[in-house]
Structure 1
């Protein structure tokens, strides 16, 4: 396998209002409805991870200042099926990541259905067009690599890295709070933000 850039998630400050409007505009339904669906279909230990990842990816894709592209630019979202422990370090061997459970993947896919097609992949090379000197995501899509969910039952941090092409990649870390009667919501970012 050729060495390729790997997507990772890192923190930065993001307006909560963007998350709310992105969720409604995308037809993703309310956070409470998403949480209820997750609770009904997932093992208890995976509910938080599913809800947090769905909110993180929704916010990232719906926030042009985070992904560097106008809203609605991507019809296909390739997501690496393993979370990267050192997301900000951009490891070159994604197979060392922590697997995202199939039911968690399905929850994320369902939650983002109104935004575009979510395709989980085991090998990041599956997202790239062939015959290009510099890696470029096929089908006008974006490759997303998620970091681990780090924190407690009240606040977590999740790194995210989005890659479109050599000159089109961003990295940041979201802060996500568990809010009463609402569920997990992105409230901002933390740490460095990288744009290339």
Structure 2
């Protein structure tokens, strides 16, 4: 029995050290050496203060800011642990609503968002949540659709806001992957800096 158990325990200890310690340390060291900014969360700072990450959306409200995609993330209800409550951009609970295209609740939520925007038609990414609920980007169309509201709230010409949107529009990754996009946090920081 010991002849069978000993090799199994040795292999378990070896692979635990190899895959549980050596490999993660090597990959972490490689990431810190080659891509330190990305390995540490692609954080955006202003002075000494971290204001967010390029990778995780934030809830922006008010007429002076570009609003991101709706977030379907939730958290445990503090009053009843068996229920959940809306917790927009809760990175600890990433996930979509799982409401399908025939869902009455989804249709009502989209209609309420369109009404809140005060338009008859809205870009899809302004009225539907992303799969993760943490999307930090909107389409250039969605950002431009908000330019008039932002300009009025900041007391500037819409062309100035539109110019900032164009400057902050990122192209496709490697020229072919994905769609053009605007990072909401980066654009809102630029709005505060250039059009206070």
TM-score above 0.5:
no
Query: Greater relative contact order: 1 or 2 (C-alpha under 8 angstroms, separation 6 or more)?
Result: 1
Q: Structure 2-normalised TM-score?
A: 0.25
Q: Structure 1-normalised TM-score?
A: 0.25
Of the two, which has the highest radius of gyration? 2
Higher normalized strand content (fraction of residues): 1
